[in-house]
A and B are shown apart, each in its own frame.
Chain A
Amino acid sequence: MIFKIAFKNIWRNKVRSLIVIIAIMLGLIGGIFTVSVITGMVEQKIRTGINNEVSHIQVHHPKFLRNYEPQYLIPHADSIAGIITKMQGVKAVCVRTRLTGMIASPNSSSGVQIAGVYPEKEKKISSLYKAIPDSNGGYFTGSRKNEIVIGRKLADKLKVRLRSKVVIRFQDPGGDLDEGAFTVNGIFQTSNTAFDEINVFVRKADLDKLTGVDNGIQEIAVLLDDNDLIPATEALMKSKLKDLDIQSWMEIRPDMSMITSAIAIEVYVLLGIILFALAFGIVNTMLMIVFERTHELGMLMAVGMSKIRVFSMIMMETIFLTLIGGIIGIVVSIVVIALLQRHGIDLSYVSKGMSAVGFDSKIYPFIKREFYIHLCIMILGTGILSAIMPARKALKLKPVEAIRVE
Chain B
Amino acid sequence: MMTNYFKLAWRNIWRNKRRTLLTAASIFLAVFLALIVRSVQTGWFDYLIDVTIHSYIGHVQIHKNGYWDDRDINNSIELNDSLVKLIRLNKNIEKMVPRLEYFALASYGKQTKGVNLTGTDPVKEDSLTHLSSKVIKGRYLDNSGNGILVSEGLATFLGITTGDTLVLIGQGFHGVSAAGKYPVAGLLHFSVPQLDNQMVYMNLATAQEFFSAENRITSLSLTLKNPDEINATVADLKARTTGKDFEIMKWSEIMLEVEQQLKIKTAGGSIIIAILYIIVGFGIFGTVIMMTNERFKEFGVVVSVGMQKTRLAMILVLEMILIGLTGIIAGLVGAMPIIIYFNLYPLHIWGGMAKAFVSFGIEPLIPMALKPGFILSNVIAVLLIVLLTCIYPVRKIFKLRVVEALHK
Contact = CB atoms under 8 A, between A and B. Distances in A.
Given A19-B285, A262-B352, A288-B290, A280 B264 contact: no
B353 A265 contact: yes
Contact of A273 (B262, B272, B283): B272
Contact of B22 (A100, A287, A350): A287
Interface stretch (A22-30, A144-152, A312-320): A22-30
A337 to B, nearest CB: 15
B110 A284 contact: no
Contacts of B278: 23, 26-27, 30
A67 interface: yes
Contacts of A332: none
Given A254-B359, A265-B352, A265-B353, A292 B70 contact: no
A34 B258 CA distance: 21
B282 A352 contact: no
A284 B257 contact: no
B261 A356 contact: yes
A177 interface: yes
B61 interface: no
A195 to B, nearest CB: 12
Name the residue in A16, A19, A177, A352 with the highest tally of chain B Cβ atoms < 10 Å from its Cβ.
A19
Name the residue in A15, A16, A193, A284 with the highest tally of chain B Cβ atoms < 10 Å from its Cβ.
A284
A352 B156 contact: no
A322 to B, nearest CB: 13
Interface string A237-273: 0000000000000000011001101100100001001
A207 interface: no
B280 A255 contact: no
Contacts, number: 148
A311 interface: no
A23 B260 contact: no
Contact of B272 (A34, A67, A357): A34
Contacts of A261: 352-353, 356
B7 interface: no
A273 B356 contact: no
Nearest to B263: A350
A23 B283 contact: yes
A66 B256 CA distance: 32
Interface in B125-160: 153, 156-157
Contacts of A135: none
B208 interface: no
Contact of A281 (B257, B282, B290): B282
A111 interface: yes
Given A258-B355, A284-B286, A274 B275 contact: yes
A365 interface: no
Contacts of A273: 33, 37, 272, 276
B26 interface: yes
Nearest to B103: A109
The secondary-structure label for the interface of chain A is helix
Name the residue in B22, B274, B279, B359 with the highest tally of chain A Cβ atoms < 10 Å from its Cβ.
B279
A175 interface: yes
A41 to B, nearest CB: 10
Given A287-B22, A353-B261, A102 B356 contact: no
B16 to A, nearest CB: 9
A27 B271 CA distance: 11
B304 interface: no
B378 interface: no
A352 B289 contact: no
Contacts of B360: 255
Name the residue in B111, B257, B294 with the highest tally of chain A Cβ atoms < 10 Å from its Cβ.
B257
A20 B280 CA distance: 10
B132 to A, nearest CB: 26
9 contacts: A16-B286, A27-B279, A110-B103, A261-B356, A270-B272, A276-B33, A280-B25, A353-B264, A357-B257
Interface of A: 13, 15-16, 19-20, 22-23, 26-27, 30-31, 34, 38, 66-67, 69, 100, 102, 107-111, 159, 171, 175, 177, 193, 254-255, 258-259, 261-262, 265, 270, 273-274, 276-278, 280-281, 284-285, 287-288, 291-292, 347, 350, 352-354, 356-357
Interface of B: 18-19, 22, 25-26, 29, 33, 37, 70-72, 103, 110-114, 153, 156-157, 198, 256-264, 268, 271-272, 274-276, 278-280, 282-283, 285-287, 289-290, 293-294, 352-353, 355-356, 359-360
Given A30-B274, A258-B355, A262-B352, 16 more contacts: A26-B278, A108-B71, A171-B112, A175-B110, A255-B360, A262-B353, A277-B29, A280-B25, A280-B26, A280-B29, A280-B283, A281-B282, A291-B19, A352-B256, A353-B261, A356-B257
